């Protein structure tokens, strides 16, 4: 999608420069092609393409690892215990401290 935008921006830039030069010739107006803007759009296109390919390869590699069973599935018990301890930690920190009056208790 970004590649299409860059193509359109490139075509419009060249057409605009030609248009200004054709119509401004009699009045001494002249336009020149500036590479900074188009360089920026094409750099963004290249980076997006690189990111897309990287994401695709990550998905394909993870899918192949899942099919061969080399994921971290062997560590399920350890992961569950870590998740449970994190849950308990968050749960205990969300409870009010003893002796601290909550908003509900104060309104009664």
**Tens of pLDDT, residues 4-19:** 888 898 899 899 999 9
Query: pLDDT for 48-79, tens place per residue?
Result: 999 999 999 999 988 777 666 555 555 566 66
d(CA 48, CA 1): 10
The gap from C-alpha 16 to its chain's centroid, in whole angstroms, comes to 32
- CB within 8 A of 17, min separation 6: which ones? 31, 32, 33
User: Phi/psi class of residue 97: alpha, beta or left (left: φ > 0; alpha: ψ in -120 to 50)?
Assistant: beta
Higher pLDDT, 81 or 30: 30
Q: How far is CA 56 from the centre of its chain?
A: 14
- What is the pTM (predicted TM-score) of this model? 0.48
């Amino acid at each position: 999608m970004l590649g299409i935008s860059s193509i359109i921006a490139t075509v419009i830039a060249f057409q605009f420069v030609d248009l200004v030069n054709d119509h401004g010739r009699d009045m001494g107006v002249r336009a020149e092609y500036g590479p900074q803007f188009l360089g920026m759009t094409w750099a963004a296109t290249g980076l997006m393409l690189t990111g897309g390919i990287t994401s695709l390869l990550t998905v394909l590699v993870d899918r192949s690892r899942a099919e061969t069973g080399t994921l971290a599935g062997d560590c399920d018990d350890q992961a569950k215990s870590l998740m449970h301890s994190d849950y308990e930690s968050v749960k205990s920190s969300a409870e009010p401290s003893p002796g601290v009056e909550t908003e509900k208790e104060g309104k009664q």
